[in-house]
Structure 1
Amino acid sequence: MTDVRSTTTGASEATGKTTGVSEATGKVTGAAYAAHELDADLRWWAAANYLTVAQIYLQDNVLLREPLTAEHIKPRLLGHWGTSPGLSAIYSVLNRVIRETDSRWLYVTGPGHGGPALVANVYLEGTYTEIYPHVSRDARGVAKLCRQFSTPGGIPSHVSVQTPGSIHEGGELGYALVHAAGAAFDHPELVVACVVGDGEAETGPLSASWKIPAFLNAARDGAVLPILHLNGAKIAGPTVLGRSTDTEVADYLGGQGWAPIFVEGDDPRAVFADLKSAIDQSYNRIRDLQTAARDTGPTVNTRWPAIVLRTPKGWTGPHEVDGQLIEGTHWAHQVPLSGVRENPDHLRILEEWLRSYRPDEIFDDAGAVVAGITALAPEGDRRLGATPYANGGRLLTPLKLPPIARYALDIDNPGATVHETTRVLGEYMRDIYTDNSAPAGEDAHGGGSFRLFSPDETSSNRLGAVFEVTDRCWQLPTTEFDDNLSQSGRVMEVLSEHLCQGWLEGYLLSGRHGLFATYEAFAMVSASMVIQHTKWLQHATTLDWREPVASLNILLTSTCWRNDHNGFSHQGPGLIDCVLPLAPDVVRIWLPPDSNSLLSIAEHCFRSRNHVNLLVVDKQPHLQYLTLAEANDQAAAGASIWAWAGTEGDSVDDPDVVLVGAGDVPTQEILAAAQILREWVPYLRVRVVNVMDLMALLPQADHPHGMTDDDFADLFTETGHVIFAFHGYPERCTSCCTGGPTPIGSTCGDSPSRAPPRHRSTWWYSTR
């Protein structure tokens, strides 16, 4: 183990190795780290490392007040040590920078499996106990902290929604930097320190995320300070950037608009001294850029600071075990000592490892962390675990929404008007931009609280009215041939679904509002992000301290029925399938058949909290059917009978057949079928039903929007035949002899969980 004991050596006597590209960008400069301050921060680091190791290994004797025995060790060892000491070192230095500058910071950690380190630091600063009082600041609380880690009914091994100070799920490898950028937009006083692991840096989304300087406006936005943590290895081997030279890394980052500062070493005193100087230098550079931009306007090609930190993987942990090098290799990634309960030598090494952090100097007689350590935390909301930017509902203000009647189409006769359905949404969002552009609260330089994110498809999706009041955001040079492009623009277009959705997620989780618009088939690129965000919201709703945030609204423009242009390549409603099985309290799927219903649903979605809303609608010209009042009524009901389209008239008997449309083109096809039946089989009693809220077809017990069996039967009858045209993929029923397609809201008649009216072996999906 590396010796982490404090000495009286001053920081100037242990400067460590630093490398850089040029005198301007690569050298570490800054005020000297006073020896007593360095000693104090190393004590915090030792305490965080001790609590990290204790969480992974110990279920008893957590303060090490007696010799360690096998009975003190957890029966199953889970967790990730390798990245944790680096995360805690950064946390410790950030604490001091925040206290010195009284600045607002958010800490986003890409190496999300360093969860025990983040929990340890949030516990040290006191936020954890404030939120979870049962994890008290004494011996009993430390025991609970350790026992809950990575155990059933406890907390996961990664940074999660339960972790105070987090907006980033540790299982989302590759999204740290894009979430950090989203949080920085329109939060001009915020600095987001984003740790990027070198394993994470190999992912596609993270590689794309380095393009932040092309979109971050120093006059109105906060800043992102990436800290690329190169400890050289992932779970089973080396990393690309970890094995790259400093020059190669600097060239890579420099080409993306960053000015990297390099910090490297394995001596804690030297690394802490250089890291503190690097963060000081970066912070001063950020504030200089922002001050200049707010005084005279932003400049193009702004080069933002970034830090490249090289430290050993598993730093201060066991250096060698059973003749195998551990520290600095991939063997330190998870649990360096796996046979502690069975192997006395491993148990001895673990005890030596824990005692190297000198727990007798960390805890007092009652088991509380000593005041000399806890006093190093910033105060109140300046603490990284307590910042409101990581609990965005605390900062959220409702959108000012103009009345949707202003944009509604006049419908005298259903099916007589043709209009591009999504165009009204663009007009609506144009005025949302205008009405929500004033700065709010502490962020006096902020540009607003609403943004549209789209992969270069705003105009294509008929949302171009927003360009009447704003432009596309662009911080690089422009030419006279560019269209609606400026530094002050607030429409975020980049040809990456990962960036668009990730930016929006960070924007929402830090207290703002927005919408992500993309082609339906391409939304599958970021489908896993939708799933993870849904899981986040699902758990957030169970935590009283997590304030509700604005919903993730995704507009999926569909061309799946049109083969005259992009055709089969652009077909793919698979995101519906991804979302349907997820948390019913979170997910909503909307299939508006026309413009007025889209307006009604959009207003609801922009007002909603803690939901994931999929709005699926074609951008092409379509027949328009509903008045705004009718659209509002049906949106509330989820589905309704379109009496004007059927032939059952005033008959009290059930119709012979029920034709159902869910989605704009399926509705059009159902209406065409009804017209043919009216002309060719006039004696057939036909009912036409339109479904706008797909979740309404579920039983009431299965979803908050679900129908009662009586309401379901009122629409679809008890026994009649139903033909269902659905904008989505069918699922085959394998539980009954028919093997027929089973629409949402119905199951096999053999299923004990559904009433018989839910099942129709004769129901059909329209297929492609």
Structure 2
Amino acid sequence: MDARREPRTTSEGRRGGDPADGTHDLPFVPGPLGPDSLRRIDAYWRAANYLSVGQIYLMANPLLREPLEPEHVKPRLLGHWGTTPGLNFIYAHLNRVIRQRDLDMIAVWGPGHGAPGLVANAYLEGTYSEIYPDVARDLVGMERLFRQFSFPGGIPSHASPELPGSIHEGGELGYSLAHAFGAALDNPDLTVACVVGDGEAETGPLAAAWHANKFLDPRRDGTVLPILHLNGYKIANPTLLARMPADELRSLLVGYGYEPTFVEGDEPSRMHQAMAAALDAAFDVIAQIRTCAGLGEPGRPRWPVIVLRSPKGWTGPEWVDGNPVEGTWRSHQVPVAAVRENAEHRAILEAWMRSYRPEELFAEDGALVPHLAALPPKGPRRISANPHANAHKSAPLRLPDLSAAAVAVPEPGRTRAEATRALGRYLRDVLTLNAEARNFRIMGPDETASNRLDAVFEVTGRAWQEEIRPGDDHLRRDGRVMEVLSEHLCEGWLEGYVLTGRHGLFATYEAFAHVVDSMVNQHAKWLKSARDLPWRRPVPSLNILLSSHVWRQDHNGFSHQDPGFIDFVANKRGDTARIYLPPDANTLLCVTDHCLRTYDRINVVVAGKQPALQWLTLDEAVAHCAAGVGVWEWASNEGDAEPDVVMACAGDVPTQETLAAVDWLRRHVPELRIRVVNVVDLMALPAPETHPHGLDDPTFDSLFTRDRPVVFAYHGYPWLIHRLTYKRTNHGNFHVHGFIEEGTTTTPFDMCVLNRLDRFHLAQAALRAAPRLGARGERAEEALRDALAAHRAYVCRTGDDLPEVRDWAWPDRHAPEDHGRRIDGDIMQCGPVGTGEAGRAGTVDDWTIIP
């Protein structure tokens, strides 16, 4: 049998009230809400539920002014009903507390697939119609609202950027709480209500994010109020937290450092009163926390959390086709299927929608009746119109003079420095210049000092709200470095921070950036969609620094050797993704300075932290980075003729090995004409129609030639270079060396040898690509084979690299000859090297550097 009973919201509401304003009586239960407030908040909830069901099912006849016919129903039914009534319930109660306490609040909705309810509430508040005037608050606008949802040419079924007031898509679950805490950082007057679904609460990122309360400074940061929504089921299975005994769940949340309040049941009157009481109590506690923090009382506060336990698909059909629906997994998505084709199902849908009594909620013209329209907050206090959710505080950072952190490079390749240590000095100055604005943070998994960025601790500390003991390293209540051993949490904090208009940097080991692949993917999709919305403000870029990279993980071994995050980002849209491979400290400073000035980008910068040779002065680095790719004249010997071979490089270790190979070739085969091309901006390689940074064909050909062999030493997997350049004229002559999944615990140079990225293999490749050398080339190749054999014997015997490899430097430009350094017993000689320009190429469209 098919029961089409009216939902509990209405079955007890037939005894009076004013039908004209949709305020039928409910059984009055004592609590914070008076009888009139109780009726009105319930009617508002019914209106949101009605609009939610309409979006999933209808494309015409929005107020059921006529019997429901097949043509009124969408041909494809898409959307998620199960979580939606609970979200609508929370939304209505958040509106009440915002008005009552004049709160500045945004909401992060973890169950983003409950978008029908979130769109419905933005429509009820009026924000939706203000942004999309064709979806007006009338009968025509309501029909458009219904039709557009999950419909070609319309809006997605998740809480996408098209939804006003949203900073969280929610299509992939697990990141809501991290986003919420990121939004609250440095926003002391902001409250972020974060609804956590019980399905997403099973994910690793969400489980770690409960600990974010240990990093929230109640004196300087905003408030996060988590609301754990337990409705019992995922797509087909029960959820873990909903099945846990109540005392265990309470203990879990207490153990995380929260004070939980439970709101449980399915009878509307009691649930409304319980939710109102829970919110009132929570904000009383929050006010007390703020007062104590202002008085300087030490210790981490115990923030409130609300646990809402309600039926899945609450107020929907109880039974369909003899199966229970409300309160079960069957209500997760579309609880009544095949409505167009099945008249019995169509009758269930019509009865369900009429049970909300839309004639009491909406006027003849389709507008919400005045008494209900007066309930939500006004202007920017509306959740859907809060400017924090649209990066309204976004402002350029104050950035320091690069010269203060720059490395002096009197001659190329003869000075050693740690690139990221120089970057640490620069970031220290960024923090200093923006100390008052408090709009810049660094996130990373316990690796700030390991990655040589520790100069920042001269002006700040690591954020920490737990106990601080003597001997702890740079822990501070107001620290601006966020460290926790969870890449998910660091990435989520930064996403929430930049989406609300502030700036930051996420620094991590290269191999473990893969942990946040899917998070970065979702952020890229958000940026792509938001860019198409004229009302969405640009947001500061997501800046990711990858250090401790593949070529210097010789001590940690194969598990730490993976440069594949670059390939993942390279797949993103050209108007979003940027990848930079600075070869030394000064180029790293220039690249970072540029990235911190950009908006609506995902910038990935790869830089090593170990002492390495430095190549360019600051002025040369500025010019080279602005071009993105260029010829290093001082390392080339082609003269006015075309080169015999182009030696290209991208990345710090590939650059050093390329130049060492060039030095070897110029000493042993001086007649070989070599051009050295260095690539900083990896996305200069594809064609301009593929990426806006792509060089035009004439410029690309002027660098790499149209027909000469190119030996390309690349930081990552070699096939990416082939993919990026496949449309280029000379692509068939590219011979790319990079990481080929050969690794172990070994010496730095042996790591290069294992992957054939070392100077000897690169020199071999150049000789083989230039066959005109004849017997001289064959003798040179034999010397290279001997050098590789000598390396293998030495490293296996001593556990260290050959001194002439380990201590190699670019020849002194002032010395006509550089004697004394030998490979294979041959004295390496080289004449004077020209000093030339830092590079030549076209300009990059959005590059700005102010040294």
Using the size of structure 1 for normalisation, the TM-score is: 0.93
**Is 1:756–2:729 an aligned residue pair?**
yes
Distance 1:129 1:763 in 2: 57
Distance 1:711 1:566 in 2: 41
**Is 1:126–2:141 an aligned residue pair?**
no
Distance 1:343 1:192 in 2: 43
Contact 1:742 1:761 in 2 (8 A): no
| Local SS of the residue matching 2:551 | coil
Cα displacement (A) at 1:69: 1.2
Distance 1:180 1:34 in 2: 32
Give the equivalent residue in structure 2 for 1:35: 35
Contact 1:112 1:171 in 2 (8 A): yes
Cα displacement (A) at 1:72: 0.8
Deviations 1:318-363 (A, max 9, x none): 0111111100010010000002112221111110100011111122
Structure 1 counterpart of 2:738, one-letter code: S
Deviations 1:686-705 (A, max 9, x none): 00010000001111121111
Cα displacement (A) at 1:628: 1.1
Which of residues 633, 637, 645 in structure 2 aligns to 1:657?
645
Structure 2 counterpart of 1:344, one-letter code: A
Give the equivalent residue in structure 1 for 2:657: 669
Within 5 A, what are the aligned runs for 1:516-555? 516-555=506-545
Give the equivalent residue in structure 2 for 1:158: 158
Structure 2 counterpart of 1:207, one-letter code: A
Give the equivalent residue in structure 2 for 1:57: 57
Which of residues 411, 424, 428 in structure 1 aligns to 2:426?
428
**Is 1:14–2:29 an aligned residue pair?**
yes
**Is 1:682–2:654 an aligned residue pair?**
no
| Local SS of the residue matching 1:467 | helix
Within 5 A, what are the aligned runs for 1:80-95? 80-95=80-95
Structure 1 counterpart of 2:202, one-letter code: E
Give the equivalent residue in structure 2 for 1:736: none
Deviations 1:719-752 (A, max 9, x none): 0000111111122xxxxxxxxx8525321xxxxx
Distance 1:343 1:10 in 2: 35
Give the equivalent residue in structure 1 for 2:7: 2
Distance 1:92 1:730 in 2: 54
Contact 1:195 1:226 in 2 (8 A): yes
**Is 1:708–2:708 an aligned residue pair?**
no
| Local SS of the residue matching 1:515 | strand
Distance 1:88 1:761 in 2: 61
Which of residues 592, 613, 621 in structure 2 aligns to 1:623?
613
Cα displacement (A) at 1:643: 1.0
Q: Which structure has the bigger radius of gyration?
A: 2
Distance 1:479 1:405 in 2: 38
Q: 1:744 to 1:593 in 2, by over 3 A?
A: farther
Give the equivalent residue in structure 1 for 2:227: 227
Give the equivalent residue in structure 2 for 1:390: 389
Cα displacement (A) at 1:88: 0.4
Cα displacement (A) at 1:562: 3.0
| Local SS of the residue matching 1:290 | helix
Structure 2 counterpart of 1:763, one-letter code: H
Distance 2:264 2:463 in 1: 36
**Is 1:463–2:453 an aligned residue pair?**
yes
Give the equivalent residue in structure 1 for 2:792: none
Deviations 1:110-155 (A, max 9, x none): 1110011100000000000111111111111111111110012210
Give the equivalent residue in structure 1 for 2:773: none
Cα displacement (A) at 1:189: 0.8
| Local SS of the residue matching 1:89 | helix
Distance 1:648 1:361 in 2: 84
Give the equivalent residue in structure 2 for 1:646: 636
Contact 2:182 2:494 in 1 (8 A): yes
Contact 1:743 1:765 in 2 (8 A): no
Q: Which deviates more, 337-346 or 413-422?
A: 337-346
Which of residues 576, 597, 603 in structure 1 aligns to 2:593?
603
Contact 2:215 2:465 in 1 (8 A): yes
Give the equivalent residue in structure 2 for 1:734: none
Contact 1:263 1:309 in 2 (8 A): yes
Specify which structure has the higher proportion of helix: 2
Which of residues 706, 710, 717 in structure 1 aligns to 2:705?
717
Distance 2:662 2:360 in 1: 81
Contact 2:232 2:311 in 1 (8 A): yes
| Local SS of the residue matching 2:735 | coil
Distance 1:563 1:107 in 2: 42
Contact 1:220 1:294 in 2 (8 A): no
Q: 1:430 to 1:195 in 2, by over 3 A?
A: same
Contact 2:708 2:733 in 1 (8 A): no
Cα displacement (A) at 1:301: 3.2
Distance 1:520 1:571 in 2: 8
| Local SS of the residue matching 1:122 | helix
| Local SS of the residue matching 1:634 | helix
| Local SS of the residue matching 2:507 | strand
Distance 1:591 1:112 in 2: 36
**Is 1:348–2:347 an aligned residue pair?**
yes
Contact 1:558 1:571 in 2 (8 A): no
Q: 1:762 to 1:378 in 2, by over 3 A?
A: closer
| Local SS of the residue matching 1:105 | strand
Deviations 1:458-478 (A, max 9, x none): 000000011111111111112
Structure 1 counterpart of 2:724, one-letter code: G
Q: 1:540 to 1:148 in 2, by over 3 A?
A: same
Contact 1:11 1:270 in 2 (8 A): no
Give the equivalent residue in structure 1 for 2:679: 691
Using the size of structure 2 for normalisation, the TM-score is: 0.84
**Is 1:745–2:744 an aligned residue pair?**
no
Give the equivalent residue in structure 1 for 2:788: none
Distance 1:261 1:11 in 2: 24
Contact 1:110 1:175 in 2 (8 A): yes
Contact 2:635 2:676 in 1 (8 A): yes
Deviations 1:571-600 (A, max 9, x none): 111111111011111110000001110111
Contact 2:553 2:560 in 1 (8 A): no
Give the equivalent residue in structure 1 for 2:311: 312
Structure 1 counterpart of 2:385, one-letter code: A
| Local SS of the residue matching 1:674 | helix
Distance 1:351 1:243 in 2: 33
Deviations 1:497-526 (A, max 9, x none): 000010000011111110000000011011
Give the equivalent residue in structure 2 for 1:445: none
Contact 2:423 2:453 in 1 (8 A): yes
**Is 1:505–2:504 an aligned residue pair?**
no
Give the equivalent residue in structure 2 for 1:266: 266
Give the equivalent residue in structure 2 for 1:283: 283
Q: Which deviates more, 267-276 or 82-91?
A: 267-276
Structure 2 counterpart of 1:233, one-letter code: Y
Distance 1:155 1:123 in 2: 14
Cα displacement (A) at 1:563: 5.3
Contact 1:746 1:760 in 2 (8 A): no
Distance 1:121 1:408 in 2: 52
Within 5 A, what are the aligned runs for 1:363-442? 363-392=362-391, 394-439=392-437
Q: 5+ residue gaps in structure 2?
A: 1-5, 18-23, 740-754, 756-851
Distance 1:408 1:627 in 2: 8
Distance 1:507 1:34 in 2: 39
Give the equivalent residue in structure 2 for 1:765: 737
Contact 2:26 2:39 in 1 (8 A): no
Contact 1:11 1:32 in 2 (8 A): no
Contact 2:707 2:733 in 1 (8 A): no
Distance 2:339 2:295 in 1: 60
Deviations 1:603-644 (A, max 9, x none): 111110010000001111111111111111111111010111
| Local SS of the residue matching 1:760 | helix
Q: Which deviates more, 340-349 or 709-718?
A: 340-349
Distance 1:674 1:761 in 2: 19
